[in-house]
Structure 1
Amino acid sequence: LGVGGDPSKGAEAAEESREELYEMVRGADMVFLATGMGGGTGTGACPVVAEIAKETGALTIAIVTKPFSFEGHKRMKQAEDGIQKLKERVDSLVVIPNDRLLELCGTDITADAAFRMADDVLRQGVQSIAELVTEAGTINLDFADIKAIMGGAGQAWMAIGTGRGDNRAAEAARAAIASPLLEGSIDGAKGVLFNVTGGTDLTLQEVHAAAQVIEQMVDPNANIMFGMVNDPKMEDEVKVTIIATGFSGAETFLPKSDSLFSQLEMSSVNDSDALDIPPFLRRSPAMRRRGR
């Protein structure tokens, strides 16, 4: 049953089930909260559940959507208020505006299909972060890496890109950075996790190519950790998942498309020094675990 679009009733319902919710999340290392903001249940209950998860000591990550514009001003205002409350109670928060889905899908998409797509974006967000830990790779990211970047980080940015062909890893990184689903860019991020997934022919040089693209965008002193996974099903395709945190303020999340594309075009991954492994790759905990 819903709560009639009233966030205060959603919060009250969660408070009434506080003990049960605590037992559900107790013992978990990491808790994901995925919801659409703007209604009563998600907007009201999610901050309460986040507070409970944090009380247990779990790394608490929320991935939420903002309403479509056609859902009205009241729902959008409730969503923004709820997001602010949630941000104060989670370690990391990823916000996806549903209106970006409309820009991608065109004018002929039905309302039902648009809502289903919004739900699927939430699923992909949770799955992408979880797979960084659960998928065995040649170079693994682990829970400690996730916690180092996302613990107490506040606003977070996350995207996935794919690429094919000669420069597939770099193209995948560019596609992720230019994700049309997210507000703002990764400019100035001080914490970055990225994972490169490809077929059995995926090379460390390709990881380096993706790293060069990412390194151009973030803070020069950013803490960057990476993983590399071989998946025979990928064949010629490479997937790059990027999570960025450590932004200086809300202004970082204003759109910066001009600077984004100019910086991506500043240098080529085919430069003569591309064979050198960047310092952050050499000092990465993941690389050290591989004995490099």
Structure 2
Amino acid sequence: MKIFELEEVQGYYNNSNPAKIKIAGIGGGGCNAVNSMIASNLQGVEFIAVNTDAQALELSLAHQRVQIGNSLTKGLGSGANPEIGKQAALEDRSLIEDALRGADMVFITAGMGGGTGTGASPVVAEIARELNILTTAVVTRPFLFEGNKRGRNAEQGIKELQKHVDSIIVIHNSRLLNITEKETTWLQALNLANDVLRQAVRGISDLILVPGLINQDFADIRTILANSGRSLMGIGNASGEHRAIDAAKMAITSPLLEETSIDGAKGVLINITGGSSLSFHEVHEAASLVRDAVHEDAEIIFGSVIDPDLDDKIVVTVIATGFEEKTRAVMPSYDKWRPSKDINTLKGSHRLLSKDTLKLEDENYLDVPTFMRKNGFTDDKSVTIENAHITPPN
């Protein structure tokens, strides 16, 4: 029933850019994800926390904290009942509208399967779309051990949410088992999921907010994402001799998705970021690799940014949309660029990674591709990958 406002908001990278991005965390999981993104110093966006639980809201770091459904829940949670979450949002629809108003783009983040996140998120998305705000959802499916009922609630909530968003990124919590060690703590695993949320948001927000040599304005982002259908977003980082090609390959293919690529995409947004040493030849190589992987008549929007802090690293961000619904994209082969499994063939260019040298506390842990982590080695070129799959609205 209340909106709490803090005095300061994270500043924009580019204050001259009129695009305004807001991130709305819905329910306990969404609000925790917002806190994680704020703690990671994600800049250039405004944060909103929406919850029925007044006590949880008091712990939020968000710029705006919106309590909903007080007459229904008396300031408590929604009891894992999505219908209560939905009714709570409808009860305080005007407060949600006030919090969203003025945004050009809104990211909605929530954990699906519970009450508030599952029930209120579609209402928040519907309000955002009524305000003509470009809307992307970033949500998680529950762990399998949380039971069939929670899984069904999540499935229904995602289907309902898809009706009201331009695109939706769905993260499967159970897949964290594939990228963690047995020693991984519960808190560390949840932080890994939150980091995927952060990277998905930053991958798009940086394209809009970071000033570049070749700029992309918000209209470009809207062109690619609005009612985009089945889509893919990927970010690849690389350093070393072949950094441009390596980063581009990792941006368009994901070991975490295994069966999706940008083959056949008809709308593509490419952003290449590097230090002052970024060469024309490298930009051409990376952009050409992406171009060759998509539909021959694809609309391609290109941007480039110089970031002195990157030193030897190149970052390639790709958002691909417009896939044919009847065509299933196939994962390209890694055979030509994956490292050998034979440790004896690893000479000076590779180093072994043990559990002692690669720990989850390392912020770059998820930057190491899955196939390299599982085989216990990485490459001195420091090739990294950060990907998320965008599922279309029905």
TM-score calculated relative to the size of structure 1: 0.82
Query: Any idea what the Cα deviations from partners look like across 1:78-107, whole Å, max 9, x if unmatched?
Result: 222222211111112222222333212233
Aligned residue for 2:235, secondary structure, equals strand
AA aligned opposite 1:261: S
Residue from 209, 231, 247 that aligns with 1:156: 231
Q: Is 2:313 the partner of 1:237? A: yes
Aligned partners of 1:66 and 1:252: how far apart in 2? 22
Aligned partners of 1:29 and 1:197: how far apart in 2? 24
Contact (CA 8 Å) 2:268, 2:320: kept in 1 or not?
yes
Aligned partners of 1:210 and 1:24: how far apart in 2? 40
What's the counterpart of residue 61 of structure 1?
136
AA aligned opposite 1:252: R
Aligned partners of 2:94 and 2:268: how far apart in 1? 35
Residue from 326, 333, 341 that aligns with 1:261: 333
AA aligned opposite 2:305: V
Contact (CA 8 Å) 1:100, 1:180: kept in 2 or not?
no
Identity among equivalent positions (%) equals 50
Tell which deviates more after alignment, 94-103 or 20-29: 94-103
Displacement of 1:262 after TM fit? 6.8
Residue from 255, 269, 278 that aligns with 1:193: 269
Q: Is 2:199 the partner of 1:127? A: no
Residue from 244, 248, 257 that aligns with 2:324: 248
Aligned residue for 2:328, secondary structure, equals helix
What's the counterpart of residue 203 of structure 1?
279
Q: Is 2:118 the partner of 1:46? A: no
Aligned residue for 2:333, secondary structure, equals helix
What's the counterpart of residue 25 of structure 2?
none
Tell which deviates more after alignment, 203-212 or 160-169: 203-212
Displacement of 1:74 after TM fit? 2.5
What's the counterpart of residue 284 of structure 1?
none
| Structure richer in helix, relative to its length | 1
Displacement of 1:264 after TM fit? 7.9
Residue from 279, 299, 308 that aligns with 1:223: 299
Contact (CA 8 Å) 1:7, 1:45: kept in 2 or not?
yes
Q: Is 2:252 the partner of 1:174? A: no
Q: Is 2:156 the partner of 1:81? A: yes
Long gaps (5+) in structure 2: 1-52, 54-76, 338-394
Aligned partners of 2:84 and 2:120: how far apart in 1? 8
Distance change in 2, residues 1:82/1:263 (3 Å): farther
Long gaps (5+) in structure 1: 266-292
* Larger Rg over CA atoms: 2
Aligned partners of 1:119 and 1:9: how far apart in 2? 25
Report the RMSD for the aligned CA atoms in angstroms. Answer: 2.1
Displacement of 1:66 after TM fit? 2.0
Task: Kindly tell me the number of residue pairs found equivalent between the two proteins.
Answer: 261
Residue from 65, 71, 84 that aligns with 1:9: 84
Contact (CA 8 Å) 2:253, 2:260: kept in 1 or not?
no
Contact (CA 8 Å) 2:253, 2:262: kept in 1 or not?
no
Query: Any idea what the Cα deviations from partners look like across 1:153-208, whole Å, max 9, x if unmatched?
Result: 13332121111112101101112223234463323222111211110111232222
Displacement of 1:65 after TM fit? 2.1
Aligned residue for 1:252, secondary structure, equals coil
Aligned partners of 1:81 and 1:248: how far apart in 2? 25
